[in-house]
Homo-oligomer: A and B are copies of this chain.
Amino acid sequence: MQNDAMRILISNDDGIHAPGIAALYEAVKDLGEIHVVAPSGEQSAVGHAITLSDPIKTRKVFKNGSFFGYAVGGTPADCVKLAVCALLDKRPDLVISGINLGPNAGISVIYSGTVSAATEGTILGIPSMAVSMNTFKDPHWETGARVARHLAQVIHDKGLPENTLLNVNVPNLPAGDVKGYAVTRMGRSRFVETFDRRTDPRGNVYYWMDGELEHLGDMNGTDLQALNNQYVSMTPIWFDLTHSDAIPHVKGWDLKWPA
Contact = CB atoms under 8 A, between A and B. Distances in A.
Q: Is the interface of A mostly helix, strand, loop or mixed?
A: mixed
A12 interface: no
A48 B47 contact: yes
A243 B237 contact: yes
B110 A119 contact: yes
Given A236-B247, A253-B154, A55 B207 contact: yes
Interface residues of A, number: 90
Report the copy number of this chain in the oligomer: 2
B110 A243 contact: no
Nearest to A208: B55
Interface in A17-35: none
Contact of A250 (B146, B166, B175, B255): B166
A243 B250 contact: no
Interface string A75-89: 101100110011000
12 contacts: A49-B111, A55-B206, A56-B206, A86-B197, A107-B123, A158-B253, A181-B257, A185-B244, A185-B247, A186-B241, A237-B242, A239-B241
User: Which 5 A/B pairs are nearest by Cβ-Cβ distance?
Assistant: A47-B47, A47-B48, A150-B259, A236-B246, A86-B195
